[in-house]
Copies of this chain bind each other. A is one copy, B any other.
Amino acid sequence: MTILLYDLVGHDTARPFSPHCWKTKMALAHKGLGATKVPTRFLEVPKVEGGVSKTVPVIRDGERVVADSFAIALYLDEAYPERPTLFGGEGGKATARFIERWSQLTIHPYIATVALTDLHAMQDVPNAAYFRENREQRYGKRLEDVVANRDAGLTAFRAALEPLRSTLTYQPFIGGEAPLFADYIVFGALQWGRIASPFQLLDDSDSIAHWFERCLDLHGGIGRQVAAAA
């Protein structure tokens, strides 16, 4: 039986944008596991699998339902140990958590800011209304006013990526010679930005941009199957 993946989409189901769902799509591809995607809009998330989670991704694998991209990756490595590992051992599991926390706290806040109005424009009417209300409450200002500051934050954002840039002087992937889930964590964040917004997050000459291109090439280029926002 194929794995079901509840994948966040806007009005165009062919442009799934969620960073966390991208982590899971890369993880499934890494394991060589097919999945049937269930396009899911923000307002449908609370109904996924009887309301198991406030967020997607959620997967159903036979009788087993798992929510949260990190938990899903751990599940996949445990359930399919004969397929390529996502963590490369127990140490890799533990330190991937650090990379997830770093990505969430260093990369996500800025991309969220950059892409806010673009993400709003990707939703259908009821989901756009939800998104605006939810996010304007979170930020305490209008979406347009949050996005207005994005140019001012770019230099600091790029500088904050220096630990990753420096890591890539030692090895081609965060996971070493080949990618691991740690790569997909950061890839998911940047893929979210790539699909949602034409705003250029990275300079073309940045080694992180080169690593991101390598990630887009992985697993038959599934990351490229959705074009960058224009």
Contacts and interface: CB of A to CB of B under 8 A. Distances in A.
Interface of A: 85, 87-99, 101-102, 104-106, 162-164, 166-167, 170-171, 173-176, 180, 182
A120 to B, nearest CB: 28
Given A105-B163, A105-B166, A163-B106, A91 B98 contact: no
Number of copies: 2
Contact of A91 (B101, B102, B175): B175
A167 B101 CA distance: 6
Given A91-B91, A91-B92, A98 B164 contact: yes
Contacts of A88: 89-92, 94
A180 B91 contact: yes
Contacts of A174: 94-95, 98
A85 B91 contact: yes
A173 B98 CA distance: 10
Nearest to A165: B101
Contacts of A87: 89, 91
A101 B163 CA distance: 5
Nearest to A175: B94
A87 B90 CA distance: 9
B97 A98 contact: no
A62 to B, nearest CB: 27
A50 to B, nearest CB: 26
A97 B175 CA distance: 9
Nearest to A94: B176
A94 B98 CA distance: 13
A200 to B, nearest CB: 23
B105 A176 contact: no
Nearest to A106: B163
B94 A182 contact: yes
A182 B101 CA distance: 15
Contacts of A104: 166
Contacts of A93: 91, 176
Contact of A90 (B92, B96, B98, B163): B92
A-B complex: 4 closest residue pairs judged by Cβ atoms: A89-B89, A91-B92, A88-B91, A94-B176
